[in-house]
């Protein structure tokens, strides 16, 4: 524990001109007194740590000292490529590895480049979870992430409707979509790839045996294909609507983007009032009612008649509410 802390202290001092005892204590999560003792221990071991006294004082390395302890471990290098998603790293249990990797990279850079990580972080940040929803980290996510990194088969139990099903899986990759974690895995012995929501797993046991990854498997391409298949699969009904120019502009924000795109692509020419009639794929009449309500008077439902009647009742109630 202390050895790792001493190494981290050297790397911190190597990556910056100097640091105060308070700054080191904060980075190392220890007291300033412990920093003083660690600095003395490094000095006794031959590391040229020098303490400048006074208000502007601090600790620094002298004589151009450079440690050779900057080689990245495999897990650190892999985690570094995910460092733009700090919340995801934390949920998968990789935050410490990423922090160590960034520190080693910073220590290995030329002095003129050592602020690169800070300047980049101030300019780009990825906030993956959806708005107005507090993301809940699945309890079994770290265990699944470990199996993904190690290419280990897992035996998983997950909820499917009212039942629980057990599967032996080869976990290929994790995807974070709008704050929800998914596992892309191949069913052992079947060769087919499937997608599982991590929060529906009730038990995960990692096996000792490893599986050999399919070199042709492309996680981003696989996810894009499955996501589009899912989006299409839930569009089981159709409604016919007439849209104003403003309604056409707002349609992609009110309904599924895929549904809006397909509808507008096949739209006919506008009528004398500038309105266009489109056939819109929807999940259900209930969902269509909720989504299209957001367009207000910019949309008129033509079919099915049951949905048109619903909007007519809504209009009557609204008129009664706003009658002078």
What is the pLDDT, as a whole number, of residue 184? 93
What is the pLDDT, as a whole number, of residue 125? 59
The angle subtended at Cα 212 by Cα 210 and Cα 213, nearest 5°, is 120
Helix 245-254 vs helix 257-265: angle between axes, to the nearest 10 degrees? 150
Nearest to 284 by CA among 312, 256, 309: 256
What is the pLDDT, as a whole number, of residue 69? 52
Which 8-state DSSP code applies to residue 133? Answer: -
Q: Would you say the C-alpha torsion 129, 130, 131, 134 has a positive or negative sign?
A: negative
What is the pLDDT, as a whole number, of residue 83? 54
Gap between the Cα atoms of 240 and 294, Å rounded: 16
What is the pLDDT, as a whole number, of residue 42? 85
Gap between the Cα atoms of 97 and 88, Å rounded: 13
The angle subtended at Cα 66 by Cα 65 and Cα 67, nearest 5°, is 125
Helical spans, DSSP H, in the chain: 2-15, 21-28, 32-44, 74-80, 86-92, 95-108, 116-121, 141-150, 219-233, 245-254, 257-265, 285-293, 305-321
Gap between the Cα atoms of 29 and 114, Å rounded: 22
In the Cβ-directed half-sphere of 242, how many Cα atoms lie within 13 Å? Answer: 12
Gap between the Cα atoms of 154 and 175, Å rounded: 17
For the chain (324 residues), the mean pLDDT of every run of 10, in chain order, is 75 82 88 88 83 76 67 53 57 65 59 53 60 75 90 92 90 86 88 90 92 88 88 87 94 89 88 93 92 94 95 94 88
What is the pLDDT, as a whole number, of residue 298? 95
What is the pLDDT, as a whole number, of residue 91? 64
């Amino acid at each position: 524990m202390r050895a790792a802390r001493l190494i981290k202290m050297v790397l911190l001092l190597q990556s910056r001109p100097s640091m105060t005892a308070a700054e080191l204590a904060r980075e190392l999560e220890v007291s300033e007194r412990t920093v003083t003792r660690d600095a003395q221990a490094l000095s006794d071991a031959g590391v040229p740590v020098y303490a400048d006294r006074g208000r502007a004082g601090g600790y620094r390395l002298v004589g151009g000292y450079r440690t050779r302890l900057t080689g990245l471990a495999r897990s650190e290098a892999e985690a570094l490529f995910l460092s733009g998603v700090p919340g995801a790293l934390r949920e998968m249990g990789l935050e410490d590895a990423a922090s160590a990797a960034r520190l080693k990279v910073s220590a290995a850079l030329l002095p003129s480049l050592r602020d690169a990580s800070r300047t980049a972080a101030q300019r780009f940040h990825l906030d993956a979870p959806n708005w107005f929803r507090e993301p809940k980290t699945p309890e079994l996510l770290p265990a699944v992430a470990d199996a993904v990194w190690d290419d280990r088969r897992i035996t998983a139990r997950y909820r499917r409707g009212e039942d629980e099903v057990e599967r032996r899986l080869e976990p290929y990759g994790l995807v974070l979509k709008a704050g929800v974690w998914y596992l892309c895995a191949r069913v052992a012995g079947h060769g087919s790839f499937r997608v599982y929501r991590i929060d529906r797993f009730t038990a995960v046991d990692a096996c000792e045996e490893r599986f050999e990854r399919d070199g042709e498997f492309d996680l981003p391409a696989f996810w894009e294909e499955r996501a589009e298949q899912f989006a299409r699969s839930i569009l089981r009904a159709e409604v016919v609507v007439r849209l104003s120019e403003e309604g056409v502009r707002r349609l992609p924000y009110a309904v599924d983007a895929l549904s809006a795109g397909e509808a507008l692509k096949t739209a006919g020419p506008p009528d004398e009032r500038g309105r266009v009639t489109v056939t819109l794929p929807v999940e259900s009449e209930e969902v269509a009612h909720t989504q299209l309500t957001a367009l207000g008077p910019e949309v008129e439902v033509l079919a099915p008649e049951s949905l048109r009647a619903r909007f007519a009742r809504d209009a009557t109630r609204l008129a009664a509410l706003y009658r002078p």
